[in-house]
Amino acid sequence: IVAILKGKGRAVHAVGVSDDASRIAWGYDGQFQNPNDVGPLELNLRLPQKGRSLGEPKELDPSISYARNLPVSLGGRSLEHQSLGPFGYWDTLDINKGGNRLGRAERGEKDGYTHNAYGFLPGGRNILSAGGHGWISAYDLKGRKLRDYNGHSGDVWALAVSRGGELLVSGSDDQTVRLWNTKTGENVASLLHTSDGEWVIWTPQGYFAASPDGDDHIGWHVNDGPGKAVRLITAAQLKRHFYRPDIVRRALQLMSAAAALKEAPDITFELNQLLNRKPPVMKVLSPEPGHSQEAASVQVRVQIGASIDPVQGFELTVNGRRINLDPISLSDGAAFEALLPVPLAVGSNTIELAANNAVGASAASLRVERKGKAPEAVKGVLYMVAVGVDDYAHFDQDLRFAGADAKAFLKALSARSQGLYKRIETITIAKGGALDPTSTNIHKALQIFKNAQPEDTVILFLAGHGINQGADYLFLPGDAKFNAKSKLWEKSSVIDWRQLHSAIDQAQGRRIMVVDTCKAGNAYNPRLIKDADDAFVTVLAATDAETLAQERPALGHGVFTYSILQGLAGKADVEPDRQIKLRELADFVTANVKKLTDGKQEPTARLPRKENFVISSF
């Protein structure tokens, strides 16, 4: 065997719904020999509830029980499959009572051929059956079809229904788990989980929530016109319009994506508009793949196709460091070529380039080798802003150690990074720090990142309360104001996540975010991790979607920051070489936080795809 070509999705052969309908579960292994044969459950997902966000796929917790197959006997009635048709499938499902047949549900070539999984819905008045080619159907007790559940594109192998009867979960050869409203037949959402741990959950209208790279795995085929090849546009390309965890969350709460969409603010684009408006089409013309040279920069020539929506600009990173391009002349929508100068380091260079317009983005990646002897490393500047908010003027959940965390983090990293940088510039925004943690001071401090050059490093540390408000994620300064009448935080008094992200995303050089803001329910926002990772920003966050950050008086810090301080002091030095690399620190912090909290807090780390740089020495 020379190579095996294998996708990252897998057929789903088992599904389940927890007894309280707060979680769904699924599994991939299955030895299907008879209808209703299912394999073991392997993974689960917490569904959103009041005050709690959508979770992330995790390994199954054996302490939680799940409803699996629908019952085949209920209220004195029973179901029995037979092969009576011409194709040899289990095409016939008899509904019996007391030895008598009450009705018969038959499948044929037009509706899935076979009954792969079936059973009674709660109450026993209706029957569900999963068949081939994506068919799921509901029947009455006479075998008359009531409705179809349309969405799957492959054979459906497993069904599970919540105890209340409203939520249906199905698993299919098409590699998805789908959630349905049993009463209306609406496909509420679909879930794809890949073998490398990425995931995406989306509504039929295209709005999605995803892991940082999960949105690369789904998309839409769009017809570009007669004689032209169909074009695949991925969810990742449409992120600016369709990455809406708030809509997905509300759809699952209402059991209706259509109803959630009616409530949603700021709907700026719909999938049917892709027939006329599309993200840019970008092609790298030169250099060729595997190009090698001695010069310190390379000219990357790109071609942009004609579009109704003209290109608004390019974004460039080299080896994970953002590089600002000089302004170039952009077209009014006509096709054009652009020549982009890209600096190179000695050795292998990974160049990531994106072109953006009002619809979305198109990205390209290439590697260029720069030959020669590496010059003595140029030391850049380290810019650090550390924010910690303990006391809130208009919020009744003061914290104890956020300010101490910010000051200790900045002090420790400054002391242990002296030899790594030309100089270190820091701003502490905390009670007793250089600035008080007000909205004005935080905005002002973030301006320091504009000074960064490609060889520099910027670090933003945030500790305090984060709040979800509709589709927005807000960081609360000490002077944040809550409007009792509107029951909303006043935008002028809080720090919108977009402002934080813009400050660090637009900074040149290496960018790092250390975030400890999930200290209360409804505080986790997946956009924080997703946006940063998409912009090649390194992220260390105190929690995942299902845990809260803990403070421990005995430690004098939050558990997350305490673990960082311990790691920087040397406990993360695995090699050992008296240097702490980023991956060493992330691995130590993750393990130590889990240990100190007995698994009740689990950090999240999104690290550079290639570079594993030294963050401190001792």
What whole-number distance in Å separates Cα of residue 229 and Cα of residue 534?
28
> Comparing C-alpha atoms, which of 221, 270, 220, 210 is closest to residue 243?
210
Tell me, what's the pLDDT at 318?
95
Q: For the domain bounded by 1-14+70-196, which CATH number is listed?
A: 2.130.10.10
Q: Cis omega before residue 310 (within 30°)? A: no
Q: What integer pLDDT is reported at residue 199 of this predicted model?
A: 98
Q: Which two tokens stand for residue 455?
A: 């060889």
Separation CA 457–CA 255 (nearest Å): 45
394 exposure class (CB count in 10 Å sphere: 0-12, 13-18, 19+):
middle
The burial of 578, by beta-carbon neighbours within 10 Å (0-12 exposed, 13-18 middle, 19 or more buried), is given as exposed
Sign of CA dihedral 178, 163, 46, 57: negative
| Cα distances (Å, whole numbers) of residue 510 to 13, 323, 461, 518, 572 | 44, 10, 15, 25, 21
Task: Give CA–CA dist 489/476, Å, rounded.
Answer: 9
With vertex at residue 476, the alpha carbon angle to CA 470 and CA 480, rounded to the nearest 5 degrees, is: 100
pLDDT of residue 519: 64
**Residue 599 CA from chain centroid, whole number:** 22
CA distance 565 to 96: 68
What pLDDT sits at residue 470? Answer: 77
Please state the φ and ψ torsions of residue 502, each to the nearest 5 degrees.
-60, -40
| Backbone angle region of 566, left / alpha / beta, with phi > 0 → left and psi within -120 to 50 → alpha | alpha
CATH of domain 281-370: 2.60.40.650
Closest CA to 489 of 507, 465, 519: 465
> What pLDDT score was predicted for residue 606?
92
Sign for the pseudo-dihedral over CA of 438, 525, 414, 344 = negative
Asked if 53 and 526 count as a contact pair (C-beta separation under 8 A), the reply is yes
Q: What is the mean pLDDT of each run of 10 residues along the chain (618 residues)?
A: 82 97 95 86 94 90 94 96 87 95 95 96 96 97 97 97 96 98 97 97 98 96 86 96 96 98 92 95 94 96 94 94 87 90 94 96 96 86 98 90 96 94 97 94 97 97 89 90 91 92 94 85 76 92 88 93 96 93 96 95 87 88
Whole-angstrom Cα distance, residue 289 to residue 285? 10
pLDDT reported for residue 15? 98
Q: Which residues contact 63 (CB under 8 A, 6 or more apart)?
A: none
Q: How many Å apart are CA 550 and CA 409, to the nearest integer?
A: 17
pLDDT digits 0-9 by tens, 134-185: 999 999 999 999 999 999 999 999 999 999 999 999 999 999 999 999 999 9
Comparing CA positions, the residue from 230, 244, 228, 334 lying closest to residue 274 is: 230
Residue among 200, 228, 564, 245 nearest 416 (CA): 564
* Other C-beta atoms lying within 10 Å of the C-beta of residue 427: 20
Structural domain boundaries in the chain: 1-14+70-196, 198-276, 281-370, 381-617
Tell me the C-alpha distance between 594 and 597, whole Å: 5
CATH of segment(s) 381-617: 3.40.50.1460
pLDDT of residue 371: 95
Alpha helices in 99-237 (DSSP H): none
**pLDDT tens digits for range 220-254:** 999 888 888 899 999 999 999 999 999 999 999 99
Pairing of the two strands 495-496 and 557-558: unpaired
- Is 153:135 a contact under the CB 8 Å cutoff? no
Q: What is the DSSP letter of 15?
A: E
Phi-psi label, residue 408: left if phi above 0, alpha if psi -120 to 50, beta otherwise: alpha
| Cα(363)–Cα(354) distance, integer angstroms | 4
Shortest CA distance to 478 belongs to which of 432, 524, 515?
A: 432
Do residues 41 and 25 touch, judged by C-beta distance below 8 A? yes
Residue with tokens 């030959």: 371
Beta bridge partners of 362: 355
pTM: predicted TM-score of the whole model, two decimal places: 0.92
Do 314 and 300 meet the contact criterion of CB atoms below 8 Å apart? no
- What local confidence, expressed as pLDDT, does residue 520 receive? 60
81, 90 in Cβ contact below 8 A? yes
Q: What is the pLDDT of residue 131?
A: 96
